[in-house]
Amino acid sequence: MIGVDGGATGTVAILCDEDGTILGSAEADASNYLSEGKDNARQALHEVIHEVTQKVGVALEDCHVAVFGLAGLNHEAQKAVYQELIDPIGLGGKHFIENDIVIAWAGATACEPGVVVIAGTGSSAFGVNAAGERCKTLGWDYILADQGSGYWVGLEGIRTAFKAWDGRIPPTPLLDAMVDHYELRGAEEMLQMAHQEGFGKSEIAGFARHVSRCADAGDPVSQMILKNAGEELGDAVCAVIRQLDLADKSFTIGKIGGTFRAGDFLIEPFTRKVLEMAPNAQIGHARYPSVIGAVIYAHFQNGTLTQQVLDELERTSERAARWKT
């Protein structure tokens, strides 16, 4: 079985026996065709599959199940594009092509009813109930809606710094942090920086850690940014819970993404909001990374997911696989 986690920053695959023993892994460039183009996405997906099968010594046609969790897949037309990119690889067996948040959910819940919430550069939440019904919120990219993400926190920090520079709010350490982080001579140079080629959402998201540092140092406006981020993420999860009728159930909520490292200023309002709606939910970090989730999902779809498989995946993952965290 093969699991693939393909996104805007890189692509990783693992190959395992049907008992869950991980035999090898491979990495390639980004495979989101929306940002990388179809040719580059095709090359990355083909490269990662050929490398992992050749490394282990397995023929492509001997693959029993392959699961691709891919960024930039939000409707059937995009799924059809990815299908065209993947079909020429020549894998045998069954193929499942899903949005990458589905394999994140599989890694967080081991395919049990529950919810995963991602807060990295972007943000999204996704859940599945016992009836197999799905619900996804956020995940509309930074242009439309990714509240609570690293990008959103970073941008709020920059905007707040400019409020202080304009005199619209009292001084905040975010202003000096912005000047230092972007190596500016003054805040007015930030506009020029923002229009430079190559300055995008990742560069803005990188400022989020300074918002966290300023919050830890006692800056109330930075603390409020993180509080609002936590509440936005909580709202996203609550929307999933409500639409899947999970409020009175006991289920797992798995957290993924560096924005959660902001600490209690973000996590406390997030947790409070979620537990007010679903007091029996168990909130924690995702048990497995997404690429392991892809293999778990393969077993789930194949009807072979057992506790023994999960235990074997966990036992062999550190020795035989590398993945994005």
Q: Return the CATH number at 301.
A: 3.30.420.40
Residue 115, beta-bridge partner list: 127, 253
Same domain, 139 and 13: no
Q: How many domains does the chain have?
A: 2
Quick one: pLDDT at residue 324?
A: 43
Residues 152 and 174 in one domain: yes
Using CA atoms, how far apart are residues 126 and 312, in angstroms rounded to an integer?
26
Domain that holds residue 54: 2-109+289-320
Does residue 153 sit within a domain? Answer: yes
What is the separation of C-alpha 33 from the centre of its chain, rounded to a whole number of angstroms?
17
pLDDT, tens digit only, all 325 positions of the chain: 999 999 777 899 999 998 999 999 999 998 988 888 999 999 999 999 999 999 999 999 999 999 999 987 888 999 999 999 999 999 999 999 999 999 999 999 999 999 999 998 889 999 999 999 999 999 887 788 789 999 999 999 999 999 999 999 999 999 999 999 999 999 989 999 999 888 988 899 999 999 999 999 999 999 999 999 999 999 999 999 999 999 999 999 999 999 999 999 999 999 999 999 999 999 999 988 899 999 999 999 999 999 999 999 888 776 544 544 4
b/e per residue 99-113 (b: at least 16 CB within 10 A): bbbbbbbbbbbbbeb
Task: Looking at the structure, tell me whether residues 166 and 275 fall in a common domain.
Answer: yes
Among 230, 214, 217, which Cα is nearest to 270's? 230
Q: 185 Cβ partners below 8 Å, 6+ apart?
A: 179
Tell which phi-psi region holds residue 110, choosing left (phi > 0), alpha (psi between -120 and 50) or beta. Answer: left
H or E stretch at 295 = helix 290-302
What one-character DSSP code corresponds to residue 90?
-
Tell whether 25 and 50 lie within a shared domain: yes
For residue 285, the cross-strand partners are: 255
Question: Does the model's pTM come out above 0.75?
Answer: yes
| Per-residue pLDDT, 264 | 96
- The C-alpha atoms of residue 173 and residue 214 are separated, in whole angstroms, by 7
Does a structural domain hold residue 16? yes
Q: Is residue 280 part of a domain?
A: yes
Q: What per-residue confidence (pLDDT) applies to 318?
A: 67
Q: Is 252 among the domain residues?
A: yes
Q: What is the pLDDT of residues 24-52, one digit of tens each?
A: 999 999 898 888 899 999 999 999 999 99
| Alpha-carbon separation of residue 184 from 51, 118, 222 (angstroms) | 43, 32, 21
Buried b (16+ CB within 10 A) or exposed e, 25-51: bbbbbbbbbeebeeebbbbbbbbbbbb
* Whether 167 and 245 share a structural domain: yes
- Specify whether 130 is located in the same domain as 48: no
- What per-residue confidence (pLDDT) applies to 256? 93
Q: Are residues 177 and 48 in the same domain?
A: no
Do 54 and 163 belong together in one domain? no
Task: Give every strand in the sheet of 252-256, ordered side by side.
Answer: 134-138, 123-128, 114-119, 252-256, 282-285
Q: Could you list the beta-strand ranges (E) of 120-174.
A: 123-128, 134-138
